[in-house]
Structure 1
Amino acid sequence: MDAPRAVVIGSGIGGLMAAVALHRSGWQVTVLERAGSLQPVGAGIGLAPNAQRALDVIGLGDEIRSLAAWQGAGGMRGPDGRWLSRTDSTAAAERFGGPLVLVHRATLIDRIAARLPASAIRTDCPAYLVDPGVAGGRRAMIRTADGTTEADLVVGADGIHSGVRGALFPDHTGPSYAGFTTWRVVVPAPPEPFAPHETWGRGALWGTQPLKDGRIYAYAAAVAPAGERADDERAELLRRFGDWHTPVPEIIAAAGPEDVLRNDVYQMNRPLPAFHRGRTVLVGDSAHAMAPTLGQGGNQAIEDGIVLAHHVAPGRDLGAGLAGYTADRLPRTTAVVRKAAQVTRLMRLSSAPAVAVRDFVMSTLSRLGPGLVLRTFDGIADWRPPQHTYAAGTKDAQARPRSASPEEDRDVRR
């Protein structure tokens, strides 16, 4: 019998992960991307142990782990350089079963896409959902410049301002502005060694992390009106962060104006009623856009692809499988979105008294127990994929999928 056909709209991290996982489970997959290439918009991405275990399922986990560059101490600092909290890479790896790995998004996209047949990816091909289909009934329909095509499954992976999401849930309010903007750069490492850090100021933060190839991935965020832009974003970084501790000014100086990427942040404050309708399903930012303050947006998209393929293996009831995907992913991602929003509120504090209290609490918690900071990621970084997706005999063969807690279920119902 012919393999069932899945069409993925969008070739970001979530779309490609879903495509690879579906392909490996027996689906015939086509990825439709409106851009002219797979070159991603962005700079670096942090892959936590939960995403690495999902990447294990497609045979990519160890390859990504080999790119880990953070070793030794790191933590959170104030703009004057004082340490607010300290974290050790070994302690984090021991707690969650793996290191934090910083990679360039282009590296991750290339390595995931390489696990698909070259003919499976069509660029310069905008696609629109015409009919979501009916599980167990008519097929879904997608329109491209070449006409209308049918699919047994459509995966909406078209980003924060998803057209597929709008077609499935036209009455939903969609994402809203999170109140801050971000900048990202990748530059050569400064000559003086430094400890990886995230620095929190008044309504602003800066992060400096090493990449395996010797470059530095740096990111910044600041409270700003939506849509605001500077004529020279490098000069804007100097204005906002040029007097912060070393190596922040040196990193800004090493970047050219064309190296600085700026994006406003949007988040899904109100969860969707479901992640599927008919034969169509959402993954990644299309389903659960979140603030980057936990570094989990891409990680959750990676999880989505693996869990989706687990539930909709060919030969199973598609409607039940998509309902199972929603039941697994909606509570978990809603909880992560809300936790990221809580961290965002702390980052956005701008009054001197409020910032002083925030920094004092962080510093005190760190002195009482370094592991207290890591607890922020309990229930997130320790996630494991569904068991049967692993090959027999692997280290994680006894892993179990993490179920939503009763508290998370109540959050979603509210």
Structure 2
Amino acid sequence: MDDGEYEVVIIGAGICGLATAVALHRKGIKSVVMEKSESLRNDTGTAIGIWQNGWRALDQLGVADSLRSTVIPIHRERIVSLDDGKEQLISINGEFRALRRKDIIDTLFDALPPATVKFGCQLESINTDTDTAKSVLRFLDGSSIIAKVVIGCDGGNSVVANYLNLKPTKIFSLCGVRGFTNYPNGHSFDHEFGLFRKDNILVGRIPMDDNMVYWFCAHPYLPEDERTWESPELIRRSTLEVLSAHPQEIEEMIKNADINSFSLARLRYRTPWDLLTGTFYKGAVVVAGDALHVMGPFLGQGGSAGLEDSVVLARHITQKGLKQVGNERKIMVEGLGEAFNMYAKQRRMRVLRLSLETYLTGMLLGATSRLKKVMYFMVLSFLFPIKNGHVDYDCGSL
């Protein structure tokens, strides 16, 4: 990579990084996205649920309609307790669909000007030039660049978050398995989000079209899970063992899943109290997406929260951090402090509430004693009495 100087550098070409680049592009701000992998990371992961707050953000980014055409809408949740046989049906108010991660990545990438994303650029360190207040980014290949603005969208192990002295992420006592299952002759599932709970195991199932189903399973982590991470077939076998007491339709779903779609990972989170007191930005360096608020998948809000970040951040940079120079809009470093402060104020309580509800849900699922389960359930019911109340949120216009 050639050394150079850039207006805005985004670290990470995941969903939030690409969405932030698209948001800035729509506001006339040129950015470059530095991605450590050698190609677009559109072959990892399976799908993510996008609730109405996420679709509002996608609408602002101008990519929602093309993504809507790829999957079916989901109209209700069916929550089944396999321990006592109780079942609850909840109508979904607003829009909810599960999107393939590949489709989101590809659509956002296609919405950017050519050569916006540079591959094979793994960030090693960030330093600030005291004379210019600009950031000097050094990469593992020995190259370096200068940037007026650095936006860290580099995931849960973020180099940018470390630069801001955000505390390390923590690990739930749970791991997550995900995959796709194709039913060549069509499946019989309604357009509903099925959630099946048994002991400390949670299984979710979301139809994507008449043939394809996205599923996930969260279950207690066992040390022997480490050996299965790199083998899809071992992931399948271990998951079937975990779900051996579940209904046959769930076991069949795992047996018939696409072997290449399996993934297994420990579930990580940034604690709510770290988000309450942590630094979202320093100088002209700021974080967004999982780099800021990585959370468990229990609410299905990690991806949508990152999309919200991209819209809010681009809006405030446009309002406070720009000046017109000829036909171009240039970053005004002296205005970035106010822009980032506004971004931090707007996002802090939003991601704090999401992270707190996710944290409590994960602790409830992973609790091994009845007393702890009752305690977490009572706290959740008191703080978040409205089921799915977090999806009734609008991040505003771009």
CA apart distance, 1:137: 4.5
CA distance in 1, matches of 2:182, 2:385: 29
Contact 2:363 2:376 in 1 (8 A): no
1:205 aligned to which of 202, 225, 237? 202
After TM superposition, the score normalised by the length of structure 2 is 0.83
2:289 aligned to which of 284, 287, 303? 284
CA apart distance, 1:358: 9.8
CA distance in 2, matches of 1:21, 1:15: 10
**1:159 matches 2:155:** yes
Q: Identity rate of aligned residues, in percent?
A: 24
Alignment of structure 1 residues 234-313 onto 2, 5 Å: 234-255=236-257, 257-269=259-271, 270-271=274-275, 273-313=278-318
Give the equivalent residue in structure 1 for 2:114: 118
**1:102 matches 2:98:** yes
Larger CA deviation: 204-213 vs 13-22? 204-213
CA distance in 2, matches of 1:304, 1:105: 18
Local SS of the residue matching 2:115: helix
CA apart distance, 1:45: 0.4
Alignment of structure 1 residues 106-185 onto 2, 5 Å: 106-132=102-128, 137-144=132-139, 145=141, 147-169=143-165, 172-185=166-179
CA distance in 2, matches of 1:354, 1:282: 34
CA distance in 2, matches of 1:33, 1:13: 12
Give the equivalent residue in structure 2 for 1:215: 212
CA apart distance, 1:248: 0.6
CA deviation string 1:72-124 (max 9, x = no partner): 54311123794531123xxx23xxxx311101100111111111112101112
CA distance in 2, matches of 1:324, 1:351: 42
- Give the direction of change, closer, same or farther, for the CA distance of 1:323–1:353 in structure 2 (3 Å limit): closer
Larger CA deviation: 117-126 vs 240-249? 240-249
Give the equivalent residue in structure 1 for 2:395: 385
CA distance in 1, matches of 2:340, 2:224: 36
Larger CA deviation: 264-273 vs 101-110? 264-273
CA distance in 2, matches of 1:173, 1:111: 33
CA distance in 2, matches of 1:273, 1:121: 29
After TM superposition, the score normalised by the length of structure 1 is 0.80
Alignment length (residue pairs): 364
Amino acid at match of 1:299: S
CA deviation string 1:29-58 (max 9, x = no partner): 111111122224311100111111111112
CA apart distance, 1:259: 3.2
- Which structure: greater strand fraction? 2
CA distance in 2, matches of 1:211, 1:54: 20
- Give the direction of change, closer, same or farther, for the CA distance of 1:25–1:80 in structure 2 (3 Å limit): same
**1:85 matches 2:88:** yes
Contact 1:291 1:344 in 2 (8 A): yes
Give the equivalent residue in structure 2 for 1:58: 61
Contact 1:209 1:217 in 2 (8 A): yes
Q: Unaligned regions of 5+ residues in structure 2, if any?
A: 229-233, 324-331
Contact 1:202 1:352 in 2 (8 A): no
CA deviation string 1:164-198 (max 9, x = no partner): 111221xx431111111000001203855124301
**1:375 matches 2:377:** no
CA deviation string 1:296-346 (max 9, x = no partner): 011100000110000111226111101111111112101110011111122
- Give the direction of change, closer, same or farther, for the CA distance of 1:334–1:225 in structure 2 (3 Å limit): farther
Contact 1:128 1:164 in 2 (8 A): no
Local SS of the residue matching 1:11: coil
Amino acid at match of 1:318: L
